[in-house]
Amino acid sequence: MKLAAFILCLISTILMGFAIFPLIWCIPMTVHAYGLYRDNEKSGIAFGVCTLLFVSLIGGILLLVDSAED
């Protein structure tokens, strides 16, 4: 699920590339989502909620479900 969340975050970041302000939130959160996938770390609820609000609705839901499973 972390890979799917990362891919959705990446797509959202690319689509929001026309504005600078959303990229301030999207780029670091997408990099962190990739780090969670790569290192197989546990994602926190706070990161899942922030991803849900600022980057990708479906990606945030996937991260929240993944954090609940661990």
Domain residue limits at 30? 2-69
- Segment 26-51 mean pLDDT: 90
Which of residues 46 and 2 earns the better pLDDT score?
46
Tally of domains within the chain = 1
**pLDDT tens digits along 5-19:** 999 989 988 888 788
Band of pLDDT at residue 70, cut at 50, 70 and 90 = low
Enter the pTM of the model: 0.78
Mean pLDDT of the chain: 87
- Segment 57-66 mean pLDDT: 90
Query: What is the distance between the alpha carbons of residues 68 and 23, in angstroms, rounded to a whole number?
Result: 28
Query: What is the distance between the alpha carbons of residues 1 and 21, in angstroms, rounded to a whole number?
Result: 27
